[in-house]
Amino acid sequence: MNKTGFLGALTLCACSALAQADEGSLRIGIEAAYPPFSYRTPEGEIAGFDYDIGNALCAQMQVRCQWVVQEFDGMIPSLKVRKIDAVLSSMSITEDRLKSVDFTDKYYHTPGKFTMKAGSQILDPAQDLKGKKLGVQRASTYDRFATEQLEGAGVEVVRYAAQSEAFLDLVAGRLDATLADIVNTEESFIKTPAGQGFALVGPDINDPRYFGRGAGIAVRKGDTANLARLNAAIAAIRVNGTYQQVQAKYFPFDIYGQ
């Protein structure tokens, strides 16, 4: 073999080895600052629903998860420049993001939910909350929903800089209800001493015009290989019970949604 052929063979071997390494692992971006989906333990380890689901998917695909922790707003840029292969960090599937990345099928979908005094009932939010004060976080998807769907029907929408402020006013009796993410409400209010005597009520609020189609795993545009194997893995862990085992660690309800 001449020198050129020898170098070419070496290059081919190196490329093949790299391809095999890529096939054997998946670099996944995660924020690790959004409990209970992703967070750091006191020992500094990553934990949470997103993390456990990701590890379950990697096990199903027989690849190694390489977790890359970074800020949420840097996820899509990192994906585009190939620093990571996927984003698994509670990223909602929205039409705007679909312009930049491709998404798997959803792996969970948390709806919004009203919180009121225990024993309250809501069948038709526009009718049952008419004349009442509803607290929402300012500039959130819940603010937009309440503004467009409820305010015109006579519901008084009160906006707060943080959802925690709305919970405080609910306890103080300055609000009749709040509308927020079901998991955030459950973990940060209902389960706390301040939330005693309050409950999640009414229908799930999950209109895709406002809240997207759930949380999916983002991959680069045109990355059909990773998209296909991740979708197959999501379907598989739903069928074999692994998904339900992970879910039970964090939530007392079905987080997958309809």
Class of the domain covering 112-211 = alpha beta
Please state, in angstroms and rounded to a whole number, the distance separating the CA atoms of residues 218 and 210: 19
- The reply to whether omega before 111 is within 30° of 0 (cis) is no
pLDDT tens, per residue, the chain with 258 residues: 443 343 343 333 333 333 333 568 999 999 887 778 888 999 999 999 999 999 999 999 999 999 999 988 889 999 999 999 999 998 888 888 899 999 999 999 988 999 999 999 999 999 999 999 999 988 777 888 999 999 999 999 999 987 889 999 999 999 999 998 888 888 889 999 999 999 999 999 988 888 888 899 999 999 999 999 999 999 999 999 999 999 999 988 889 987
Fold for the domain defined by 3-109+213-250: D-Maltodextrin-Binding Protein; domain 2 (3.40.190)
Residue type, 34: Y
Q: Give span(s): CATH 3.40.190.10, the chain.
A: 3-109+213-250, 112-211
> CA quadruple 142, 145, 148, 151: dihedral positive or negative?
negative
Residue type, 14: A
